[in-house]
Amino acid sequence: MDIGIFREVIQKMEIPCLILEGNVVRFANSSAEDTLKRKLLGECIEEEILQSRAPFLEWRSFEVDRYRVYLGFDVSEVYRLKGELEKRKEFFATATHEIRSATNSILGYLALYVDGEIKLAHKEELAEKAYSVALKLSALVNDLLDYVRIEEGLRELKLEPLKVNTLLHAIVEDLKGYAFRKNVELNVSSVAEHLRIIGDKKAFCRVMRNVLDNAIKFTSMKEKGEKRVTVSFAEDEKGMSIRVEDTGIGIEPEKLSHLFKVFSSYSPEGTGLGLVISKKLVELMQGKISIHSAGPDQGTTVELWFRRAEK
């Protein structure tokens, strides 16, 4: 093929391209990196150099006329998919591991239970332990299914105006007993009666429940000092923020940035998927969620923001 025609075709296709005559670069397509062009001018091109300069371009070289031509193919999508695949493999490996350990521990308790040598008082304790792990396993499986459904885009939300006052009132009423048993004071400021946000009822309740459950759970774990959870609200022009502040065990700075990553952290009672799912749901409702803590024993604050529905 004539090199002139070749150039025209390549230029139209916008493929990064370098054409060498001896070791002089005669032509490089505009989309090839500038630094790459500069670096290579007058130098002998090594494919490794090309690769390290533009890692998402895979270079193929061949002869056209008496020229050596390098074409760079964009493989960034391949890299992205490889990354996704790795993440999924890791997710399923961890999920399977979690399910297997819970199942093994239930089996372990039940094996002891059916052992004829065990005394009656002990049996009750074993049954309770097996039951509590079974509850955790069931919560884990439900969370995993939810997470996968959200990730796959299968969780369709019905966005509609929601009366925050009514919904929060019901959730708080439900959690009052739990807070009381855990010795945590639960204070909720009043929300304007008329206030409506845009959200999906089930998703909103799920998020609020998890955030409040965390606040109560991790405050009750504090050894001394006051144990209080305060929920407050603020309106702005476009939305409404909900602030859940606790005086609990707080969070180490290095742990903070991992809390919204799957399986990055979990409490002995939980699955560690609560915040991950909450963030995904909040984002599907076009809201925001963030978590702050000054450090261990300094309490934690979760801030949520939702769009306001037109009046």
Positions in the binding site for Mg ion (CB under 5 A): 210, 214, 270, 274
Q: Which residues contact 304 (CB under 8 A, 6 or more apart)?
A: 207, 208, 211, 241, 242, 243, 244, 282, 287, 288, 289
| Beta carbon of residue 267, minimum distance to ligand ATP (angstroms, whole number) | 4
Rank residues 218 and 306 by Cβ distance to ligand ATP and give the closer one: 218
| Beta carbon of residue 136, minimum distance to ligand ATP (angstroms, whole number) | 9
- Which bin fits 145, alpha (ψ -120 to 50), beta or left (φ > 0)? alpha
Q: Does 91 bind ligand ATP (CB under 6 A)?
A: no
Contacting ligand ATP (CB under 6 A), which of 29, 210, 220, 247? 210
Cα 228–229–230 angle (5° rounding)? 120
| Beta carbon of residue 73, minimum distance to ligand ATP (angstroms, whole number) | 41
Pick from 166, 168, 199: nearest CA to 186:
168
What amino acid occupies position 131?
A: Y
Rank residues 274 and 299 by Cβ distance to Mg ion and give the closer one: 274
* Nearest-angstrom CA–CA distance, 125 and 220: 24
Rank residues 210 and 220 by Cβ distance to Mg ion and give the closer one: 210
Q: Does 184 bind ligand ATP (CB under 6 A)?
A: no
| Beta carbon of residue 171, minimum distance to ligand ATP (angstroms, whole number) | 15
**Candidate ranges 65-73, 92-100, 150-158, 265-273; the one touching ligand ATP (CB under 6 A):** 265-273
Query: Would you call 61 helix, strand, or coil by DSSP?
Result: strand
Q: Does 215 bind ligand ATP (CB under 6 A)?
A: yes
* Nearest-angstrom CA–CA distance, 212 and 228: 12
C-alpha separations of 269 from 103, 118, 135 in Å: 15, 27, 10
| Beta carbon of residue 92, minimum distance to Mg ion (angstroms, whole number) | 22
Q: Does 267 bind ligand ATP (CB under 6 A)?
A: yes
Q: Does 245 bind ligand ATP (CB under 6 A)?
A: no
Cβ atoms of residues 230 and 216 within 8 Å: no
Residues lying near ligand ATP in the complex (CB under 6 A) are found at 143, 210, 214-215, 218, 246, 248-249, 251, 259, 265-267, 270-275, 300
